[in-house]
Amino acid sequence: AQKITQTQPGMFVQEKEAVTLDCTYDTSDQSYGLFWYKQPSSGEMIFLIYQGSYDEQNATEGRYSLNFQKARKSANLVISASQLGDSAMYFCPNKFYFGSGTKLNVKP
Amino acid sequence: GAVVSQHPSWVICKSGTSVKIECRSLDFQATTMFWYRQFPKQSLMLMATSNEGSKATYEQGVEKDKFLINHASLTLSTLTVTSAHPEDSSFYICSAPTDRVGVTGELFFGEGSRLTVL
């Protein structure tokens, strides 16, 4: 199985501030995709952002951006202007394998 | 985006009974679907890969006879928890890719099914 490492079990951020969630891959694939998902307490999985490993520019989707450093095999998620509704679990799977995730709590 | 529907959302059953969970791709054909199990406050653990027209591929440590998976058509995969026991209580969630999974294809998830075995 491909290994995914999310080193932050839990994170706190003040509302309206930016936060970075870490993710590193251990893969030998030459071409791969980087994905981030959000899982609120309701349990649904919500797709946030995608970037291909050969994409030259980091992906951005609204308040979400992906900071991809290929040599380090890291694909960190940056959430700008945090909102209370951002409180959730966040996952960066490698293909269909999920790491431990990061629990983000946004404080008012 | 593509839609995956999972049913039932909640199910409570008695110990020893079997429970079937359905996962349907509503607007695309899914030759592959993935079944996950998630314990409270933990990550998604891949149980098996469901393949249309062939046997499912189970992850190591997952009991094939306990968790029966059938991919009957290009839009339907089912997970049957046989002879359920309280330790099988969990959140089960399915997903399907529309493209090359992990390369260009994001995963579309069902709503999940919360199983409680009494």
How many angstroms separate the CA of residue A62 from the nearest CA in chain B? 17
What percent of chain B has a predicted confidence (pLDDT) above 70?
97
Residue B21 tokens read as: 């969970």
Per-residue pLDDT tens for B36-57? 999 988 999 999 999 998 999 9
CA-CA-CA-CA torsion sign (B36, B38, B43, B47): negative
Contact A45 B95 (CB under 8 A): yes
Q: How far apart are CA A32 and CA A91, in angstroms?
A: 16
Q: Is the pLDDT of residue A48 over 80?
A: yes
Give CA B111 to chain center in angstroms.
11
Going by C-alpha positions, the residue among A12, A10, A6, A19 that lies closest to residue A98 is A6
Per-residue pLDDT tens for B27-37? 889 999 999 99
Cβ-contact B113, B6 below 8 angstroms: yes
pLDDT of residue B102: 63
**Which residue of B21, B44, B100, B101 is the best one to mutate when testing the A interface, meaning the one whose CB has the most A CBs within 10 A?**
B44
For tokens 């199985």, name the residue.
A1
What's the rounded mean pLDDT across residues A7-32?
A: 92
β partners of residue A89: A39, A103
Set of chain B residues whose Cβ sits within 8 Å of the Cβ of A52: 103-104
